[in-house]
Amino acid sequence: MYAVIDTETTGLLPSHRHRVIEIAVVLLDARGQVEHEWVTLLNPQRDMGPQHIHGILTADVLAAPEFGDVARQLGELLAGRLVVGHNVEFDLGFLRAEFARLGFSVPLITERSMCTMALAGYLYPGAKRTLGACCAAAGITLEGWHSALADTRATAELFADYLHAFPSPPPWQWAYEEVRRIPWPALPGTTVAPTVRPVHAGGRHGWMSRLVDQLPRVPEPPQADSYLVLLDTILANREITAADADQLVQVATDLGLTRPQVEELHRYYVSELAAVSWRDGEITSAQRSDLDRVAVMLGRRVVDVDDALLRASAGRYVVPDRPGARGFPRGSMLVFTGDMVDPREIWWDRAVAAGFVPQEAVRPDTTFVVAADVDSLSVKARMARELGIPIISAEDFRRLLPADERPAESSV
């Protein structure tokens, strides 16, 4: 009756030619009992994307089948079944795109599928967002996180647990009756031996991954959790690259989120991330550095982290006394870009007085860029994004300077 799925991909956007590199399917009967499992790596015929997230190396997929090789097998597994996933629209979007590349339209319909992330919020209003958090709340062990098979097994077990909360037949029986009658096209492919990921691939660990599992849901706007769960995934390994940030912008656009909505989600996200980090009553300098990096990459300020930690600790957190601009130590190299009210020479002198080393051009050793417009398309700004270098506004730079070096607000 059910086909539980999970994919690992080379990025967040099938519209940007990102590809599926691993797919797993667990078939369940009407009671949630496992009937069959299937998993394989896929050769995407392109770079592997965020390997820090999925842990799959190019060498792992060189001998793996391409999607076209397994299309028929996959179609036979999915046909006539109600598809289930955690944030299922993400996986369905990629599978629809993969079949479309082969010239086929398949009946993988979001409105005729089940999402365990949505079910968790419906059944348990206080439930968190991530698969790890939902599994922990249900007492389900999640091993090998970001392995498609491990995630699919956990999602299947979670869904089976949720089934017990509904009568038989469940309220979505009508959707199943529809999809089981929809014919699938005759797909290409043969019966090929699956390629299973090596032991080294995948896995999640570390402090930041535990934090994102504790972040609360965001009920409004309705697309918020679909966006934030992807941000959770990116941050689980303490990484958010410039490419990740660009993809998130496009994801937000595809979801219909406005820029003010995204900015508010980022503000809330940084605040909550800082709040859950204080639950043990302390935070190390390395952990604080992680929080600062996340904040800057999401367009927030280091002082926003200070404020959140002060709120979470009821004033007990001691804000570190940083030389120079808070969050960027003396000796940090910076570049200015864009036209500001005060001449560039004045900003240059302020930076030097605060202990920084201004540069004329962005280089790999540049620490951060100060821009008149953080969305600038200047050569310097584009280079900074390519290198993963934070870009902050002139206003933020003014606020972060030592008090005796700050210009008046009107001169920004």
Q: In this predicted model, what pLDDT tens digit does every residue of 259-289 receive, in sequence order?
A: 889 889 988 888 998 888 888 788 888 788 7
Overall average pLDDT of the 33-61 stretch: 87
**Tens-digit pLDDT profile for residues 133-169:** 888 888 887 775 567 888 999 999 999 999 999 998 9
- Cα–Cα distances (Å) from 165 to 34, 130, 159, 308, in that order, read 18, 20, 10, 37
Separation of alpha carbons 118 and 127, rounded Å: 10
Q: How many CB atoms lie within 10 A of CB 209?
A: 19
Which region, left, alpha or beta, applies to residue 338 given φ > 0 means left and ψ of -120 to 50 means alpha?
left
Determine the pLDDT at residue 49: 81
* pLDDT: which is higher, 327 or 203: 327
**What are the tokens at 80?**
């006539």
Overall average pLDDT of the 368-386 stretch: 85
Overall average pLDDT of the 373-387 stretch: 84
Residue 293 has pLDDT above 70, yes or no: yes
CA 5 to the chain's CA centroid: 18
Overall average pLDDT of the 220-238 stretch: 80
Contacts for 128 with CB less than 8 Å, ≥ 6 apart: 120, 134, 137, 213, 214, 215, 216, 217
- pLDDT-derived band of residue 240, with 50, 70 and 90 as boundaries? low
- pLDDT-derived band of residue 411, with 50, 70 and 90 as boundaries? very low
Determine the pLDDT at residue 396: 76
Separation of alpha carbons 124 and 115, rounded Å: 14
Altogether, the residues listed in the chain come to a count of: 412
Determine the pLDDT at residue 147: 77
Separation of alpha carbons 384 and 364, rounded Å: 9
**Tens-digit pLDDT profile for residues 53-63:** 778 888 888 88
Q: How many CB atoms lie within 10 A of CB 169?
A: 12
Contact 409, 342 (CB under 8 A): no
The 3-state secondary structure of the chain, one letter per residue = CEEEEEEEECCCCHHHCCCEEEEEEEEECCCCCEEEEEEEECCCCCCCCCHHHHCCCHHHHCCCCCHHHHHHHHHHHHCCCEEEECCHHHHHHHHHHHHHHCCCCCCCCHHHEEEHHHHHHHHCCCCCCCHHHHHHHCCCCCCCCCCHHHHHHHHHHHHHHHHCCCCCCCCCHHHHHHHCCCCCCCCCCCCCCCCCCCCCCCCCCCHHHHHHCCCCCCCCCCCHHHHHHHHHHHHCCCCCCHHHHHHHHHHHHHHCCCHHHHHHHHHHHHHHHHHHHCCCCCCCHHHHHHHHHHHHHCCCCHHHHHHHHHHHCCCCCCCCCCCCCCCCCCCCEEEEECCCCCCHHHHHHHHHHCCCEEECCCCCCCCEEEECCCCCCCHHHHHHHHHCCCEEEHHHHHHHCCHHHCCCHHHC
Burial tier of 241 (Cβ tally within 10 Å: 0-12, 13-18, 19+): middle
Determine the pLDDT at residue 111: 93
Residue 323 has pLDDT above 50, yes or no: no
